[in-house]
Structure 1
Amino acid sequence: MSYADDVFIKMCQDILENGTSTEGEKVRPVWEDGTPAYTIKKFGVVNRYDLRKEFPAMTLRRTALKSAMDEILWIWQKKSNNIHDLHSHIWDSWADESGSIGKAYGYQLGVKHQYKEGMMDQVDRVIYDLKNNPFSRRIMTNIYVHQDLHEMNLYPCAYSMTFNVTQTPGNDKLTLNAILNQRSQDILAANNWNVCQYALLLMMMAQVCDMEAGELLHVVADCHIYDRHIPLIKELIQRKPYPAPVVKLNPEVKDFYQFTTDDLIVENYETWPQIKNIPIAV
């Protein structure tokens, strides 16, 4: 089976069996009908994926990998906060009449900061350090900027990436690893979507810095299943997983800003049918 499926099934079982409920508490999210959106949650869920072994795409239901890559490029490459630069409708509920989601996500990654080497934004700083000082323990991004929170239509969920380089004995190439930190995650709607997105980001960064993609560590502070998602999750985790797909990037691309979704190569991705019309709490 796909390792990502195994992780997902065990995580969901743990939350359903050992999680705590927010029912009756004061919660921010609501369903479309205005009903409070309660959850069963676990604090501090940590999952680890080794991209050298397989790509962490679920097969219990299909993760739209090209759309996931398109969103990560929207944030990290285009550094955009406008949904008109995105080829999906994921962010429509949080956009204003002009399409802006406020000073969130891509906007923060595009803000330039002064370093001793000159002015750089966070993405360019990561690439600079990976190429020039790969064993630095300071290669990270952070888009949870308190002074701008009041101008964000949604506070960042996935807010920080920490990159760390290791040297594997006998391997000429360095290995690039990363930690993705999330304050909150809707397991059904977003878990594997985020895992695949940041696995692809790790692969892209490794390729343009002439490294090998290694481990992605995914840390979620509030890992939850919404009340209306419980029967969907229970049905999903009863499915029998398929083997993981083969996922590669066009090896010709050496500049992070040249990647497009056409450079994503997906082979042998067999999945169960998608769960449609998942209710989303906003």
Structure 2
Amino acid sequence: MSLADKIFIDMCNDILENGCSTEGEKVRPKWEDGSYAYTIKKFGVVNRYDLSKEFPAITLRRTAIKSCIDEMLWIWQKKSNNVHELISHIWDSWADETGSIGKAYGYQLGVKHKYKEGEMDQVDRVIYDLKNNPYSRRIMTNIYVHQDLHEMNLYPCAYSMTFNVTKSKNSDKLKLNAVLNQRSQDVLAANNWNVCQYAVLVHMLAQVCDMEVGELVHVIADAHIYDRHIPIIQELITRPTYDAPTFWMNPEIKDFYQFTVDDFRLDNYVTGPKVENIPVAV
């Protein structure tokens, strides 16, 4: 069993056995038929993944690595808020007639800010600090910008990354670690998708800044399983598990903005069958 599978199974069991139900309470999300989408939820879930030991893709079912990387590049590299620049259609429900999701996600990462060193957006600031001041305790991004929330078609779920550099005693290279903060997560639909995305991001930044990968710590304020997802989760976590896949990233790429989805792959990725027709609450 991979570490990612164990973390996922333990988290789901904890939510199902010890979580709080929102049934009958005032909730925002609804199903396509108009009924309210209730959840079982846990507060303050923290999962740790050591990226130096394995890539955290679960094997219970296949995580679409190319699609999740494409979305991550859409946000972090293209800094886009238009779904027409995205291969998948996962954001279509939140886009307007022009394809825009408002001043959300990639838009915020592309806004330039004034620093003592000059004007930079948040992504370029992270890269600048990792290269020039790696032991800074201020290397972070935040896209939950209150003044722009009214112009976002969806408030950011994964909203902040904090990067921290360490060094192992027996290594000449620095090690890049990161904390992903998420206010809310649909465990079935999005958990491993987000974990894989940000694991890839840490790998990318480590490579372009000449570092090794370390830990990804995922902090979820509200980790929830929707009521209509419960039987799907119960079946999923009883499936056979397999060894973690091998992550490959093009070692020739040294510029963060030169990566494409074709520069990544998972080798020896053995998984259970795809989960079909997952209902999505909006």
- Establish whether TM, by shorter chain, passes 0.5: yes
Q: Is 2:35 the partner of 1:35?
A: yes
Contact preservation (8 Å) 2:3, 2:56: yes
Partner of 2:15: 15
Taking every aligned residue pair, what percent have the same amino acid on both sides? 79
1:14 CA displacement: 0.4
Q: 1:215 & 1:145 partners in 2: Cα distance?
A: 27
1:17 CA displacement: 0.3
Contact preservation (8 Å) 2:59, 2:243: yes
1:248 CA displacement: 1.8
The aligned amino acid for 2:28 is: R
Q: Is 2:174 the partner of 1:174?
A: yes
Partner of 1:234: 234
Q: 1:144 & 1:254 partners in 2: Cα distance?
A: 29
Q: Unaligned regions of 5+ residues in structure 2, if any?
A: none
1:105 CA displacement: 0.1
Contact preservation (8 Å) 2:5, 2:58: yes
Q: 1:167 & 1:14 partners in 2: Cα distance?
A: 34
Q: 1:153 & 1:2 partners in 2: Cα distance?
A: 36
The aligned amino acid for 1:138 is: R
Q: Is 2:198 the partner of 1:198?
A: yes
Partner of 1:276: 276
The aligned runs of 1:86-105 (5 Å cut-off) are 86-105=86-105
Q: 1:266 & 1:238 partners in 2: Cα distance?
A: 24
Partner of 2:157: 157
Contact preservation (8 Å) 2:161, 2:181: yes
1:138 CA displacement: 0.1
Q: What's the TM-score once normalised by structure 2's chain length?
A: 1.00
Q: 2:248 & 2:270 partners in 1: Cα distance?
A: 16
Partner of 1:214: 214
Partner of 2:142: 142
Q: 1:201 & 1:53 partners in 2: Cα distance?
A: 16
Aligned-partner SS, 2:184? strand
Contact preservation (8 Å) 1:110, 1:122: yes
1:22 CA displacement: 0.2
Q: 1:38 & 1:227 partners in 2: Cα distance?
A: 6
Aligned-partner SS, 1:11? helix
1:2 CA displacement: 1.2
Partner of 1:85: 85
The aligned amino acid for 1:62 is: R
Q: 2:134 & 2:271 partners in 1: Cα distance?
A: 37
1:159-208 deviation line (CA, Å, top 9, x unaligned): 00000000111101100000000000000000000000000000000000
Contact preservation (8 Å) 1:5, 1:60: yes
Please list every run of at least 4 consecutive aligned residues from structure 1 whose deviation after the TM superposition is greater than 6 angstroms: none
Aligned-partner SS, 1:192? helix
Q: Is 2:66 the partner of 1:52?
A: no
Say what the alpha-carbon RMSD is for the aligned residues.
0.4
Contact preservation (8 Å) 1:144, 1:159: yes
Contact preservation (8 Å) 1:59, 1:243: yes
1:77-136 deviation line (CA, Å, top 9, x unaligned): 000000000000010000000000000000000000000010000000000000000000
Q: Unaligned regions of 5+ residues in structure 1, if any?
A: none
Q: How many pairs are equivalent?
A: 282
Q: 2:209 & 2:248 partners in 1: Cα distance?
A: 16
Aligned-partner SS, 1:103? coil
The aligned amino acid for 1:194 is: N
Q: 1:248 & 1:148 partners in 2: Cα distance?
A: 37
Aligned-partner SS, 1:26? coil
